[in-house]
Chain A
Amino acid sequence: MIEVKNLEKKYFINTPNELRALDNINLKIEDGEFVALVGASGSGKSTFMNIVGALDRPTSGEYLIDGVPVHSMTQNELSDIRGKKIGFIFQSFNLMGRSNALKNVELPMLYAGITAKERTKRAKELLELVEMGDRVHHLPNELSGGQKQRVAIARSLVNDPSIILADEPTGALDSKTGDIVMNIFKKVHKEKKKTILIITHSIEVAQMTQRIITIRDGRILSDVPNTPIS
């Protein structure tokens, strides 16, 4: 369970142009929820997700995963959280260009200290799950955008994290390949029971989730349940 209390993030603190990117955010996300985060560009969605993803620290307020405070952790502890509790998916895929799909998927397991044999086994399983079992030895530049994003989804899952965070995962894809990627998310949600938080600009994408949170100017504007259309 993710819990956020009175969360604030400010930039340019104590200068005339101080900026409140996040302003008093209070939020709970239960295990296994499939959530969309929407809002205009610059409204603070990424800032929020980066804090939830343990990449960034809030200026003030609390952030807890399963009751454990993350906001006060050291750099090393944050690395551990990122490696084991959280799976990241980026708009621009962020695959390692010189490594093939398999090696890319194995990477988080390397940092988590998993043996080579186990790494290969799990990476192959997950590439099968995202329907990339036949592209295991391809380099990123030999894959289409949708295929790259599927490899990235497999990579986010390898350490069996409880939370998957995706910042505009279909933002760089056309709507057809975007749908294929979203179907993978739905499959992951259904089969793996992960908590998934997706930032999106697309109403169709948001409609596929169970809950839609709208942010404006760093505040929660609305937080409504949604019945996913299948």
Chain B
Amino acid sequence: MFFKENMVLALESLRSNKMRAFLTMLGIIIGIASVIAIISVGDSLSSSITTEMQSIGTNNIRIMVREKDNKFGNPRNRMNNPGSMLSSGASAEDKDLITIEMLEAFQERFKDQVAAISLNESRGTGQVKDERLYANVTVSGVNPGYISVNNVELINGRFINDRDTAGRKSVAVVSDKLVKNIFGSSINPIGQEIKLYETSGIKTYIVVGVYKYTDSDSFFGASSTSEKDAQTSIYIPITLAKQDTTIKNYSSAIIMSKTNVDTDKFTKDIEEYFSKYYETNPKWEVSVINMASQIETASSMLSSVSLAITIIAAISLLVGGIGVMNIMLVSVTERTREIGTRKALGAKNFHIRMQFITEAMIIALVGGLIGLVLGLLLGTLGSNLLGAAPSFSLPTIVLTVAFSMAIGVFFGYYPASKAAQLDPIDALRYE
């Protein structure tokens, strides 16, 4: 009951000193806003990283050809655009790239460690059309090993096999989404013909398999297109995809190790094995990247950034708390006569202490709530910029609100005690 009266008093006092209260709150607003923003961006990023990690697989090792003096290229770019990772200036010729024979020899040599090798040649976007029906696609030439390395979930038919690649057969594996757009639900798509329109021309393929589309593969580019227009991958034999390109060999491949293999050690073995092909090459070499360690690096980078911002947030909360303490000391001094009067009217020390603690708590709480709203906005914005879904947890929100109240109580306690201990006569005589 008395708490309610104190709340009313505190809010009245806030209202009569709006500007001062706002400036006092600023530290807390900034502190709480950054905490909330970091937590939500951090949460959504790390959950994305986890998804990414699961979709890539922790025992995948990427091998790629790069220019010899370009050791410090941006790994993120390489990860996303394996096809274009060759460095700016020169481009590698067929003789500098990895050949099928090299990969076959490697697989033979390490047959106890290698589970699969995935090759991928991206051909860009296109459209599958059947009169008025259409589906947007990205065209990927792949080898049979691709399915196991990239966790493609086949729900109908089969994947690209060795005979398809060897014979450059015009077959395709498409998504269930494409099937829905082109065939509807009544026709069995297996064995059906589809027409693929690309800038290079129109070609007919026979559908041999259907995989389940998951939108996790559009992770870093938040798609703004509608559900129906969304692009899905269409897989064709890699030999077919490379048929009319000048480069026949491969600039990168993903090697999946068997589950019991020590990936870190295997990574070194691979590096050693392929390096011998490049010892005499003047310009090019291979680089071998262990995916798991890449993601580990990324997430540890993320957590150290979070730590830095958390420290800044903690400092601004501390400064905010000191601000609250300062303003409360000013307020106590300004209201000395009021305190004396209250005591003359029967207020006990405890009443006065509660009044000022409540006031400090309200200032901090209002600051905390403003900070919370700001933090949620920033968090959403930040997550959107990074292309991850914003993630907010209720416990975090409750905790920050409680924490800002605690700051008020903690930093308000000393001024409130000072007020409570004022001698009534001295307080009444104060000018």
Contact B346 A84 (CB under 8 A): yes
Contact B346 A108 (CB under 8 A): yes
> Is B342 interfacial (CB-CB < 8 Å)?
yes
Tell me which of B1, B5, B9, B428 has the highest count of chain A C-beta atoms within 10 A of its own C-beta.
B428
Residues on A with beta carbons closer than 8 Å to the beta carbon of B1? 116
Contact B337 A94 (CB under 8 A): yes
Count A-side interface residues using an 8 Å CB cutoff: 25
Contact with A along B327-370 (1 / 0, CB 8 A): 00000000001101111111111010000000000000000000
Contact B346 A98 (CB under 8 A): no
Identity of the chain A residue whose Cβ is nearest the Cβ of B4 in the assembled complex: A116
Identity of the chain B residue whose Cβ is nearest the Cβ of A75 in the assembled complex: B349
Identity of the chain B residue whose Cβ is nearest the Cβ of A50 in the assembled complex: B425
Identity of the chain B residue whose Cβ is nearest the Cβ of A158 in the assembled complex: B345
Contact B348 A76 (CB under 8 A): yes
Chain B residues touching A, majority SS = helix
A-B contact count (CB 8 A): 62
For the complex, what is the distance from the CA of A76 to the CA of B342, rounded to whole Å? 14
Contact with B along A85-129 (1 / 0, CB 8 A): 000101000101011000000011011100010000000000000
Contact B12 A83 (CB under 8 A): no
Contact A111 B424 (CB under 8 A): no
Contact B338 A96 (CB under 8 A): yes
Nearest Cβ distance between residue A211 and chain B, in whole angstroms? 24
Nearest Cβ distance between residue B422 and chain A, in whole angstroms? 11
For the complex, what is the distance from the CA of A99 to the CA of B424, rounded to whole Å? 21
Tell me which of B343, B344, B345, B349 has the highest count of chain A C-beta atoms within 10 A of its own C-beta.
B345
Residues on B with beta carbons closer than 8 Å to the beta carbon of A111? 342, 345-348, 351
Contact B12 A79 (CB under 8 A): no
For the complex, what is the distance from the CA of A118 to the CA of B346, rounded to whole Å? 18
Contact A80 B341 (CB under 8 A): no
Nearest Cβ distance between residue A51 and chain B, in whole angstroms? 10
Contact A159 B341 (CB under 8 A): no
Count B-side interface residues using an 8 Å CB cutoff: 23
Contact with A along B1-22 (1 / 0, CB 8 A): 1100100010011001000000
- Could you say which of A79, A88, A94 contacts B347, with CB atoms under 8 Å apart? A79
Contact A90 B341 (CB under 8 A): yes
- Could you say which of B5, B13, B337, B344 contacts A82, with CB atoms under 8 Å apart? B344
Chain A residues numbered 7-66 whose CB sits less than 8 Å from any CB in chain B? 50, 53, 55-56
Chain B residues numbered 124-143 whose CB sits less than 8 Å from any CB in chain A? none
Residues on A with beta carbons closer than 8 Å to the beta carbon of B342? 107, 111
- Could you say which of B2, B16, B337, B345 contacts A108, with CB atoms under 8 Å apart? B345
Contact with B along A153-184 (1 / 0, CB 8 A): 00100010000000000000000000000000
Contact A82 B16 (CB under 8 A): no
**Nearest 8 interchain pairs by C-beta:** A83-B346, A111-B346, A94-B341, A108-B345, A79-B348, A55-B424, A88-B344, A98-B12
Interface residues of A (CB under 8 A from B): 50, 53, 55-56, 75-76, 79-80, 82-84, 88, 90, 94, 96, 98-99, 107-108, 110-112, 116, 155, 159
New contact pairs (6) apart from A94-B337, A112-B346, CB-CB < 8 Å: A53-B344, A55-B344, A79-B348, A82-B344, A82-B346, A111-B345
Interface residues of B (CB under 8 A from A): 1-2, 5, 9, 12-13, 16, 337-338, 340-349, 351, 424-425, 428
Return 21 A-B CB contacts under 8 Å, by A number. Answer: A55-B343, A55-B344, A56-B425, A76-B348, A79-B343, A82-B346, A83-B345, A83-B346, A84-B346, A88-B344, A90-B428, A94-B337, A94-B340, A94-B344, A96-B338, A96-B341, A98-B13, A98-B16, A107-B345, A111-B342, A155-B345
